[in-house]
Structure 1
Amino acid sequence: MNPLIIAEAANPEWVSVPLVGWSHARAIQKVIGGHLVTQIRNAEAIERSGVDPSEFTAIDSEAVASAMWKIGDFLSGDAGKGWTTKMAASALPYYYFERLLWKQFGPRIKSGEFSLVHRVTPLSPTMPSLIARKCAKHRVPFVVGPLNGGLPWPREFDAERRREREWLSYLRSAYKLLPYYRSTRKYASAIICGSQHTLAQMPAWAKDKIIYLPENGVDLDRFSGQRSHTAALPIKAVFLGRLVPYKGCDIVLESAAELIKQGKLILEIVGDGPERQALENQTAELGIQHGVTFAGNVPHEQVVDKLVNKDLLTFPSIREFGGGVILEAMTVGLPSMAVNYGGPAELMTASTAFPIELGSRSEIVDRMRAGLEQVVSNPTIIAEKSQACVDRVRKLFTWEAKARQIEQIYSWVLGKTEKPTISFE
């Protein structure tokens, strides 16, 4: 197989979507082969990673992308907020990117040089493709995904929604009016859905071409360490993520306050963002400064060092699309206590985590407090879940495993096999 892999966002030195895009694309190249097409902003980082220049092409769409990115930043306001607004602003640059891509690669696609075309990023299901129909016209299978996004804001957290500057999220369904929205789904040979929510939002007539495959995976070279100590009091908890309202770090502080005061738990907060000062103030008001450490931002390759010596990941995000942090913690044998909604709910199991049911903020605080008290009263429960975490990740969620799963999808769209059933139980 010789796929043309489109990942406009694919960067080994960044996090979030660019890192997911890079990890998917590179794993596919290593397992299956193919050529990567990305945006020019990623070129230097990819070269620094040691990839041969012949294995990728960087398209310069900065004439449109740079200006629209600045507009998106301006409209969204605070750094790290207004994700829906930024995605809306990126629609025009992506159309331009695909236009340039087809101009450069269209003749090669038409000639049959590539066995299929796979658009990995954008991950957002709101972003249509100009070339899906063109590929179908020339009988070249077009695969799109993993698509993931649009997880509804819990109605109990509308205040957090406004604090996140998610004003456009109230009008999100308008994306179905975008040019090429229907044709992307109509002419795709396979649609990979990265979440159950995204799958449920797909039109009924497209169901036969849909495959469920969670978007996130883990790089075992980067997360090679493993938790080996026995949990004991004080329990060492960690929060890892951007300090923005929906991530729920304030919930962790309130839930853990009494246990921290009693010396039964200590907490390290890894990450930074616009809420940091408010969280530091909350820590002082609760009188728990002695048991809370703010580590700030940590390079992604050093995150493993912050996880292996901990006992529990506390992560009550109330609107998490993917939940890659859950997998990263599981990789080193660290169970999570997270809200059972969105991405985390599809990664955790009762044997690997302490799921907290979604509710109002006060209900989540009470449920997390009860969960932390359970762990403090019986630290051996950590060990029971630790190995199950490692086993689940290594079986299903390494990037190599995901590339093997995608290989099954490729074989199906090329008519070599039946539609695969990929289980994540």
Structure 2
Amino acid sequence: MKIVLVSSNAGTDMGGEAIKAYQYFDYLLRQGYDAVLLTHARNRRGLSRDFPAERLLFVEDGPVQRTLWQSRFGAPLVSTCFHLLAARLIRARFDPAATLLHYLCPVSPVEPRFPPQGFETVMGPFTGNIHYPPDFADRETPRGKLRARLHRPAQLLFRKLAPDKRQARHVLVSGYARTRRSLAWAGVPPERMSEVVDSGVAEAIAARPPARHVGRSTEFACSGRQVDHKGTDLAIRAVAESREGARLTVYGDGPARPALEGLARELGVTERVRFAGWRPHGEVLDGIAAARGYVFPSLAEANGIVMQEAMMLGVPVLALRWGGPGHLASDDAALYVEPGEEAAVVAGLAAGMDRLICEPDFADGVARRARAIAEARFAWSAVAASWAACYPAAARQAAAERRAAGIVGDRA
């Protein structure tokens, strides 16, 4: 049985969702699955470097998609357009009797995928239905607030108009109770949902020796697309409140960066906050590994792949107890701050940074416990195996036979 992995983004240079799709596709090939990745043409360069052309299928970027992308009101339809074009390619190239479609990214449990008729499907893992904490609700954009209000009505509507998730063979859930509620509104029976970890950590990261925390260190890191929900401004404010001279390197870029740079100037911490911009993933990992702590004050994070990576690197994480990050570590394996009023959050982050600076033994203990959790829960082999476990027995048997015959790791 052929597996067609459908993911609008896939690669190592486009953030968490894209990395997740890349790693899982690589896993399928290494395990002997007869797999094809169907993705957008913007991912062609990086994927063609790493995988054979016959294992890749691209939705080309036509005039309709470009028009939608450039339109203020049409942009939300870009993914819908991708899935409609993907369905056309699937119908033209694959036999429904011998093909399983796995819709991976995006992770929204609402967005319809429009699989072609007659094909068996697996969907997820889904992590959506995440919104700002109540004390930060005024920061959410009008579009975000509207999306939150329309979430349940949209699921009830799509339950009838686009019943893709209701009709799927299996739906993977990594967004905990909030996502199970959303999928229930969409009509997915509980027995067809499976709880899984949202993403894994690459073998190359797991193979790194864990960081060791000795002596005094004032270095901290944060990363990601610079948009409001990442909460980078809270990290910068915490640097300004730090009594021990905390320093922060911010990896990533985005529309919020100019305002964040202005905030650093306003608070007088430009010498202690460095904006590194977009850097290769390996370079970001090196920066995190060299830090005393990783600051992750995201206000609407469905999972937190970079937090999983920091834990595997042996770096203490400071995060809000909200959304996905609140489920990734135990209370003694991360420094959690309750998502209350902004001043209290900033003070909590600053206090955590100062403690990590001054107490290397404490930092090392947190890091060791975080590493143990990461090794037990986040290794890609275990995470990916839990996803593939919901495939039909015929697909898993075929993969086992290909492995036995040495047909694995089908890469360029």
Query: Any conservation in 2 of the 1:195–1:346 contact (CA below 8 Å)?
Result: no
Deviation at 1:46, TM superposition (A): 1.1
Alignment pair present for 1:143 and 2:96: no
1:172 and 2:159 correspond: no
Using the TM superposition, give the Cα deviation of residue 99 of structure 1 relative to its aligned residue in structure 2, in angstroms: 3.0
2:326 corresponding residue in structure 1: 345
Q: Deviation digits for residues 202-235 of structure 1, max 9, x if unmatched? A: 2175111001123222223267544434343243
After superposition, the C-alpha distances for 1:322-357 in whole angstroms (9 at most, x for unaligned) are: 211101211211110000111211212223211112
Alignment counterpart, residue 208 of structure 1, candidates 163, 180, 191: 191
- Counterpart of 1:156 (choices 125, 135, 153) is 135
Distance 2:329 2:134 in 1: 23
Summarize the Cα distance change of 1:214–1:70 in structure 2 as closer, same or farther, 3 Å threshold. Answer: farther
- Pick from 166, 170, 187: which aligns with 2:167? 187
Which residue identity does 2:96 align to in structure 1?
I
Task: Determine whether 1:217 maps to 2:204.
Answer: no
1:260-319 per-residue CA deviation (whole Å, 9 max, x = no partner) reads: 5x44x2222222222323323322333333332222221223211111211101111111
* Number of residue pairs the alignment of both structures matches: 391
Spell out the pairing of 1:9-408 with structure 2 (5 A cutoff). 9-36=9-36, 37-49=38-50, 51-60=51-60, 62-71=62-71, 74-75=72-73, 86=75, 88-106=76-94, 108-110=95-97, 112=98, 114=99, 116-131=100-115, 134-135=118-119, 141-162=120-141, 166=144, 168-173=146-151, 174-176=153-155, 177-178=157-158, 183-196=163-176, 197-203=178-184, 206-221=189-204, 224-259=207-242, 262-263=244-245, 265-408=246-389
Asked whether the equivalents of residues 59 and 86 of structure 2 are also in contact (C-alpha less than 8 Å), the reply is: no
The CA deviation at 1:198 is: 1.2
Secondary structure (helix, strand or coil) at the match of 1:104 reads helix
Q: Indicate the residue corresponding to 2:407 in structure 1.
A: none
Deviation at 1:9, TM superposition (A): 2.3
- Which stretch of the first structure deviates more once superposed, 152-161 or 169-178? 169-178
Percent identical among aligned pairs is 22
Cα contact 1:148–1:194 (8 A) shared by 2:
yes
| Cα distance change, pair 212–54 in 1 and its aligned pair in 2 (3 A) | same
Q: Is the 8 A contact 1:31 1:400 kept in 2?
A: no
AA aligned to 2:230 is: K
- 2:401 corresponds in structure 1 to none
- Residue 9 of structure 2 aligns to a residue in which SS? coil
With the length of structure 2 as denominator, give the TM-score of the two structures: 0.85
Shift of 1:29: 2.4
Partners of 2:302 and 2:53 lie apart in 1 by 33
Moved more, 307-316 or 288-297: 288-297
- Bigger relative contact order (CA 8 A; separation at least 6): 2
Tell whether the 8 Å contact from 1:145 to 1:193 is kept in structure 2 after alignment: yes
Note the residue ranges of structure 2 that are not aligned, 5 or more in a row: 398-412
Looking at structure 2, the residues matched to 207 and 266 of structure 1 have their Cα atoms a distance apart, in angstroms, of: 47
CA contact (8 A) 2:217 2:292 kept: no
Distance in 2 (CA, whole Å) between partners of 1:132 and 1:392 is 40
Where in structure 1 are there 5+ consecutive unaligned residues? 76-84, 136-140, 417-425
216-225 vs 269-278, greater mean Cα deviation: 216-225
